[in-house]
Amino acid sequence: MPRPRSEHPTELELQILKVLWDKPPQTVREVRQSLATAGRELAHTSVITTLNVMVRKEYLTRSMQGKACLFSPCVSRDVATRRMLDDMVARVFDGSARAVMLNLFDGGDLDAEDLKELRRLVNQKAKERQK
């Protein structure tokens, strides 16, 4: 029995999306080499299968250049990460952005520069809410 279709990319699909977000379009061979460089050695056929599944899921588009298939993402990094984050916040933190932030602050290793940037973002968000 096949696994139910995931609303979000699997771990491998996310790795492939990251490769393609950095430098689209790429051939199967280029994607495979990028994954291997990142420590994920896969058979050529496994990469082809995964890329084709991602085309069916509409994460990627496929075009031909001569005899080579070129793959490009059709979902942006921002959209994909927003969807995944929204899902995690809903499922793990019952929709509470506050709980997420408190958890990140409590467990995160934030330096002075990180805290400065977060203060800036919080102040900016507060100004937007006052309008």
**pLDDT per residue as tens digits for the range 48-63:** 999 999 999 999 999 9
The pLDDT tens digits for 78-123 are 999 999 999 999 999 999 988 988 888 887 788 889 889 989 999 9
User: Quick one: average pLDDT of 68-84?
Assistant: 95
Number of domains in the chain: 2
Q: CA 6, CA 58: separation in Å to the nearest integer? A: 12
**Position 7 pLDDT exceeds 80:** no
Domain boundary among 43, 58, 73: 73
Q: Are 6 and 83 in contact (CB under 8 A)?
A: no
Residues 82 and 56 in one domain: no
Residues 49 and 61 in one domain: yes
> What is the residue range of 107's domain?
77-130
The pLDDT of residue 5 is 63
